[in-house]
Structures are given as structure tokens and as C-alpha cells.
Amino acid sequence: MSKQDRVLIFDTTLRDGEQAPGASMNQREKLEVALALERLGVDIIEAGFPVISKGDFESVQIVAKKVKTSTVAGLARAVRKDIDAAAEAVKGAKRPRIHVFLATSKIHLEHKLRKTPDEIVQMAVDAVTYARDKIDDIEFSPEDASRSDKTFLYRVLEAVIKAGARTVNIPDTVGYAMPEQYAKLITDIRSNVPNINKAIISVHCHNDLGLAVANSLAAVKSGARQVECTINGIGERAGNAAMEEIVMALRTRSDYFGAMTGINTPEISRVSRMVSKYTGFVIAPNKAIVGGNAFRHESGIHQDGVLKEPTTYEIIRPEDVGFTGTGLVLGKHSGRAGLKDRLKRLGIELSEQEMLRAFDRFKDLCDKKKEVFDEDLVAIVEDEVQEVKDIWILDSLTVTSGTKIVPDVTMRLKSGGKVHTKKATGDGPIDACYVAIDKITGLKGKLLNYSIQSVTEGQDAMGEVRVRVNFNGQKVIGIGASTDVIEASVKAYLNAVNKACVAATAKKSKTKKIDFGLQP
Ligand code: KIV
Ligand code: ZN
């Protein structure tokens, strides 16, 4: 077997991914994602853009402190205050990196930066030299590289490599490139930048034309050896290249690419679910690799083929990406040990206290649902055993609704041992519930987003509701699951209420305002 080249995976879920409108995560969630990325075997984690705000700075700092095996990078514009902030934030990492970027396309130079090409080269060199004095591992990105004049791009790349950049990243910032064109750009860089062998060529593709993964893979075929990507492909506008797709394409077609990654692929599903949960971005059922239907066969001919020999219709073994499938797992006679064992197999370990709550919910579910599947268990755990102090708990709920009446609700919530009851009406039964909750808690929530997904199939399936609520400027995501969609909706809203209460009592971090004109 021929020797396979190693392609480094640079994950930017916590930076470019988090820039997706509505995808913001809190510090605890970011750290959990970073630790999951480390378990996944990601080579470099871009943890944030430290100069943006105190919150971003602290998130990068904590990730840098806790992550041990992956390199931790902080983003910086080619200016000293950004580089200082990035250096300070990542300095506690075992393997720190500063990622400096500066646009090189004519459009950006003329309209955004208002600089001449000579000034840009000087700025880039100064920034890399300055950063290199602080940290050894420097990456440089000529923003909008794919729309830059090639000769000018070669000049900038040669200069920053000479100044000490170890990685040069070639962003397709606006997702404009076509795969052949982008592959040729990488080939041309390899032949026209004299010192290119002293740096790793990285690629960073956006998905505006749906080509982020195709472009990244075409670049690998041309010799790029670092790919920047995000979990589930989240990111600015239409997103970034999806990591799970890049990794599985390289693995499944290693015969074609002659390259591999160091990713521990069975961890993929878990991280994908985690990012979906924390950002509130639901994964489409037909999403490659991590969609609910990615390994489901509907046609009888396909089912027959797969039963006879899985490779007839499956090019990836579901277990290789951690897809557990819809296996019937437990029933009403199963005990705590059975549940614990099953959860462990799903990669979920709970404390004694959490296990007690999960078991109660499991027994409850067995009474309502004939069959309990892996997905139900994951939903129970995510719903019930979330790391949120339950300040408000649903005690009971009575809803009257119909086609010719105004829905009304009687809501009973428990808090600190006391039960609080309120009645409310609304535009629909769920709206009435939310009005009643607001009356009891005294908070005023503005519902920004509401989505419901069936966790498994069948009439008795559990519904998982995700809401995004704005409480007085603070936007939080809440998740709730139940076989009853109104109850799931109430639990999701209460989860958001509890998160908002916890956050309100936590120390507020002051946000430093910066000029967003140069933000990627
Ligand atoms: O898309 C882009 O150009 C970026 C850079 C900061 C790498 O995100
Ligand atoms: Zn980007």
C-alpha cells in the first residue's frame, strides 16, 4: 500500500461557525465543543477572535488552558492590538497559534481597506513579524484570495513565509471559486511561490454556491495539506466546508486522494449533535454523513440489498461515524443497570443524580411509548439532564384548544418548593402556555425561533422542540422533549427561562466595542 499523506484538520466551528447568524454559544458550551473536538482528533481548533469582546477573549483563553492535544488558534487582523489580544488569549495553550488575516483582492483593497498593494505587503509582513516574536506557530490568510490577482497573491505569500508564517491559508471567502479553478490556484501557488515548501498550504472555503466541500477536496488533490472546516458546515452566510463530509470523503476515497486525516470518525455523530444542540441549528434529514436519513434505506430493493450485503448501497459503515441507528433498546421491564449500560454504549456518562432523573424520565416514557429507541434516550438525556439549574419546573398543565375557541391554559410551575399557578389565553395553545409562563416568572420572552422535530418514527414518537428566546436583549436557546408536543414546547421554553435566570445572576462580562469594518 502506498504511503498516505496526512491532511491536517483545522476546525473553525467556534470562530467562523459561531459567526453564523443566530449561532452564538456561551462559554461553557464553547468549552464543551472544544473538548469534543479534541476527542475527535482535530489538529487545530480555532477557538475565537479574541479582540472582538471580553467574552470572546475569555472563551479562547479557557479553551487554550483546557485543551491538551490539539493546537489552539486565535484569529487576528493584521494590526498590533488584535495580535496582542490573540497572543495573550492563546499563550496558556500547549500548542498556541495566531492566525493573522489581511485581504488581498482588488475589491477589498480599494473599497474596504483603501490601501495600495505595496502597503498591504508591508502590513502583512509587519504583522507576521510582530506575531512571530510572540508565538512560533503563525498562520497567514490573504482574505478573498480566490478573487485576488495571482501575481500579487504570490508576492504576499512569499513575503509572509519569509517573515515566518508556517501555514498559508487560501480563503475562498465569498464561495466564488469553481473546483477546477480553485485546484489550479493551489497548483499555481505551488509552482510560483519560491519558498512555498517552507509552509503548509491550507484551504478555507465558503459555501455560497454549495461548493465548499468540493473546492476543499479539489485543493487537497492539488496538494493542500490543511483544510479549514466546521461541524455541520455552519458558518458565515451559507456556511463553511462541513468537516464530517471532508473527513469521510478523504477516508472513503483514500484510493483517489492518497491522503488521510487523524480524525477519530466514530466521534463524528456525537459532536455533530452537540453543535446542533448548542447553536439551535437543526440538521436536515438528508444532510450527508450526519443527517437522520444518511443511513436509512426506504426502497424495498435497497433494503433487500443491504440485508444481503451492506456494501450494495452503503459506502460508509454507519458505526464508522458513530451512527447508532434506530435499534430497539429497552422496554418497561428494563432496570437502571440496563439503562446505564445502554447510555454508556451511546457515549453518555451520567452522575448518580442525573442517572436517577434520567431513569424516572425513561420509566415515564415507557408508559407512553411502546418502543424506546436510542434516539429517545439521547433526547431524554439532552432534555432532562442539561447542565442548567432548574429554577422553574413544570408541575402540571391543562390546555383547552379547538378550531372555534380561543385557546386557554392553566399553568402550574414549581420554584423553590412553592407552586405558582396562572391562567392565560393566546394565539394558539403554545402561545397561551408561553404567556402563562411569562406571567408566573415575571420575565418577558420574545420568541425568535421555534422548531419541532420528531426524534423517531411512528405516532407515539417523541417530539423535540428547540426555541430561541430573547429575554431583554439576552438570546438563549432552550430544548425540550416529550411525546406530547405542547409539553415539549413548554419544557423548551422553561429551559430557556432557566438559562436566562442563571445567566442573569452570573457575573456580567462587559463587551468591548470594536470597529467591525474589517471583520471577516
Ligand atoms: O472567510 C475568510 O476569508 C475567513 C478568514 C479570516 C480566513 O474567515
Ligand atoms: Zn471564513
Tell me, using a 6 A CB cutoff, whether residue 82 lines ligand 1. Answer: no
Nearest ligand by distance to the CA of 103? 1
Instruction: Give a yes or no: residue 315 inside a domain.
Output: no
Q: Ligand 1 within 6 A of 143 CB?
A: yes
* 186 and 275 co-located in one domain: yes
Same domain, 379 and 469: no
pLDDT above 70 (res 325): no
Q: Which of 363, 384, 405 is the last residue of a domain?
A: 384
119 falls in which pLDDT band (50, 70, 90)? Answer: very high
Q: Is the CB of 175 under 6 A from ligand 1?
A: no
Contacts of 318 by beta carbon, 8 Å cutoff, 6+ apart: 295, 324, 325
pLDDT at 25 over 60: yes
Asked if pLDDT for residue 520 goes beyond 70, the answer is no
Look at residue 299 and tell me if it is in a domain. Answer: no
Tell me the three cell numbers of residue 442. Answer: 415575571
- Both 40 and 160 in one domain: the answer is yes
> Are 96 and 210 in a shared domain?
yes
Neighbours of 404 (CB within 10 A): 4
**Cα 181 to averaged position of ligand 1 atoms, centre (Å):** 19
What is the model's pLDDT at position 30?
Answer: 96
Q: How far apart are CA 217 and CA 212, in angstroms?
A: 9
Q: What is the spatial distance between Cα 424 and Cα 394, in angstroms, rounded to a whole number?
A: 16
- The band of 302, judged by pLDDT with boundaries at 50, 70 and 90, is confident
CB-ligand 1 contact for 173 (6 Å cutoff): yes
**CATH number, residue 186:** 3.20.20.70
List all residues 6 or more positions away from 387 whose beta carbon is below 8 Å from its beta carbon. Answer: 28
Question: Minimum-distance ligand to the CA of 75?
Answer: 1
**Three-state DSSP class for 449?**
strand
Closest residue (by CA) to atom 6 of ligand 1?
520
| Number of folded domains that form the chain | 3
Please report the DSSP string for 482-507 in residue order: ESSHHHHHHHHHHHHHHHHHHHHHSP
Residue 240 CA to ligand 2 centre (angstroms):
7
Q: Are 98 and 66 contacting, i.e. CB atoms less than 8 angstroms apart?
A: no
Q: Identify which ligand lies nearest to the alpha carbon of 241.
A: 2
Q: Whose CA is nearest to atom 3 of ligand 1?
A: 173
Q: What is the pLDDT of residues 79-89, one digit of tens each?
A: 999 999 999 99
- Domain identity same for 89 and 159: yes
Tell me: pLDDT of 364 over 70. Answer: yes
- Residues 72 and 164 both lie in one domain: yes
For range 178-196, the mean pLDDT:
98
Reported confidence tier of residue 389, pLDDT bands at 50, 70, 90:
low
End-to-end CA distance of the chain: 42
Mean pLDDT of the chain: 90
Q: Ligand 1 mean position to 366 CA, how many Å?
A: 49
* 257 touches 221 (CB < 8 A): yes
205 lies in a domain?
A: yes
Mean pLDDT of 378-393: 72
Query: Which one of the ligands is nearest to 172 CA?
Result: 1
- For the Cβ of 17 lying below 6 angstroms from any atom of ligand 1, the answer is no
Task: Tell me the three-class secondary structure of 302-369, residue by residue.
Answer: HHHHHHHCHHHCCCCCHHHHCCCCCCEEECCCCCHHHHHHHHHHCCCCCCHHHHHHHHHHHHHHHHHC
Give residue 505's pLDDT.
Answer: 64
Q: Which of 75, 141, 170 to mutate to test the pocket of ligand 1 (most atoms within 8 A of CB)?
A: 141
Structural contact between residues 478 and 499, judged by C-beta atoms closer than 8 angstroms: yes
pLDDT at 510: 35
The rounded Å distance from CA 17 to ligand 2 centre is: 8
State yes or no: pLDDT of 388 exceeds 80: no
Grid coordinates representing 424 are: 392565560
- Out of 292-296, 311-315, 472-476, the most confident range is 311-315
Mean pLDDT of all residues in 126-141: 98
**520 Cβ inside 6 Å of ligand 1:** yes
CA distance 372 to 381: 13
Summarised one tens digit per residue, pLDDT across range 436-473 is 999 999 999 999 889 898 877 777 788 889 898 988 88
Minimum-distance ligand 1 atom for the alpha carbon of 15: 8
Nearest C-alpha to atom 2 of ligand 1 is from which residue? Answer: 173
Confidence of residue 22 (pLDDT cuts 50, 70, 90): confident
Mean pLDDT value of segment 190-209: 98
Nearby residues of 429 by Cβ (< 8 Å), 6 or more positions away: 399, 401, 407, 409, 486
Look at residue 382 in the predicted model and tell me its pLDDT. 72
pLDDT tens column, 245-289: 999 999 999 999 999 999 999 999 999 999 998 898 889 989 999
How far, CA to CA in Å, does 294 sit from each of 304, 325, 471?
17, 10, 36
Would you tell me how many other CB atoms lie within 10 Å of the CB of residue 520?
Answer: 17
pLDDT at 5 exceeding the cut of 80: yes
Is the C-beta atom of 141 inside 6 A of ligand 1? yes
SS3 string, 57-101, reads HHHHHHHHHHCCCCEEEEEEECCHHHHHHHHHHHCCCCCEEEEEE
- Does 90 share its domain with 208? yes
- For residue 434, which phi and psi values (nearest 5 degrees)? -65, -35
Q: Residue 25: name the closest of 499, 374, 429, 416 by CA.
A: 499
- CB of 16 sitting under 6 A from ligand 1: yes
Give the dihedral of Cα atoms 455, 456, 461, 465; nearest 10 deg.
10
Looking at the structure, tell me whether residues 379 and 400 fall in a common domain. no
- Record the pTM: 0.80
The yes-or-no verdict on residue 327 having pLDDT over 60 is no
pLDDT of 339 over the 90 cut: no
CA of 294 from ligand 1 middle (Å) equals 30
Nearest residue (CA) to ligand 1, atom 1: 173
294 alpha carbon – ligand 2 mean position (Å) = 27
What's residue 384's pLDDT? Answer: 66
Domain containing 66 equals: 3-279
Tell me how far the alpha carbon of residue 208 lies from the centroid of ligand 1, in angstroms: 14
| CA gap 476, 30 in Å, rounded | 14
pLDDT at 122: 98
Ligand 1 centroid, distance to 12 Cα (angstroms): 10
Check pLDDT > 80 for residue 374: no
- Considering the chain, what percentage of its residues have pLDDT values greater than 70? 93
CB 423 within 8 A of CB 410: yes
pLDDT digits (tens, 9 = 90+) for 51-65: 999 999 999 999 999
Pairwise CA distance, residues 85 & 50, whole Å: 6
Residue 317 lies in a domain: no
Least confident of 96-105, 142-151, 259-268, 446-455: 446-455
Within 8 A by CB and 6+ apart from 168, the residues are: 139, 140, 141, 142, 157, 160, 161, 189, 196, 199, 200, 201, 202
Nearest atom within ligand 1 for CA of residue 101: 6
CATH number at residue 462: 3.30.160.270
Q: What average pLDDT score do residues 470-499 get? A: 89
Domain boundary among the residues 248, 279, 310 is at 279
pLDDT for 391-425, tens place per residue?
A: 899 999 999 999 889 999 999 999 988 999 999 99
How many angstroms separate the alpha carbon of residue 470 from the centre of ligand 1? 29
Q: Which ligand is nearest to the CA of 202?
A: 1
pLDDT, residue 386, reads 58
The whole-number pLDDT of residue 507 equals 42
Judgement on whether residues 329 and 245 belong to the same structural domain of the protein: no
Tell me what the mean pLDDT of segment 489-512 comes to.
72
- Evaluate if residue 515 carries a pLDDT over 70: no
Could you say which DSSP state residue 45 is in?
A: E
* Confidence at residue 326, expressed as pLDDT on a 0 to 100 scale: 47
Whether residue 516 is contained in a domain is answered as no
- Ligand closest to 235 (CA) is 2
Specify the DSSP class assigned to residue 111: I
Residues 145 and 126 in one domain: yes
Q: What are the b/e assignments for 210-223, b being 16+ CB within 10 Å?
A: ebbbbbbbbbbbbe
d(CA 462, CA 396): 19
Residue 519 Cα to ligand 2 middle (Å): 10
Give the mean pLDDT of 165-175.
Answer: 98
Cell 490601501: give the residue. 115
| 431 assigned to some structural domain | yes
Do 352 and 433 lie in a common domain? no
Angle of CA points 458, 430, 461, to nearest 5°: 10
Asked whether residue 70 falls in the same domain as residue 162, the answer is yes
Choose one of 52, 112, 139, 143 to mutate for the ligand 1 pocket test, by most ligand atoms within 8 angstroms of C-beta.
143
Among the bound ligands, the one closest to the CA of 76: 1
- Cβ neighbours of 506 (radius 10 Å): 10
Instruction: Say what the pLDDT of residue 400 is.
Output: 94
CB of 139 within 6 A of ligand 1: the answer is no
What whole-number distance in Å separates Cα of residue 193 and Cα of residue 159? 9
Q: Is residue 504 part of a domain?
A: yes
Within a domain: residue 136? Answer: yes
- Provide the pLDDT for residue 342: 78
What is the reported pLDDT for 300? 77
Give the distance from CA 83 to its chain's centroid. Answer: 25
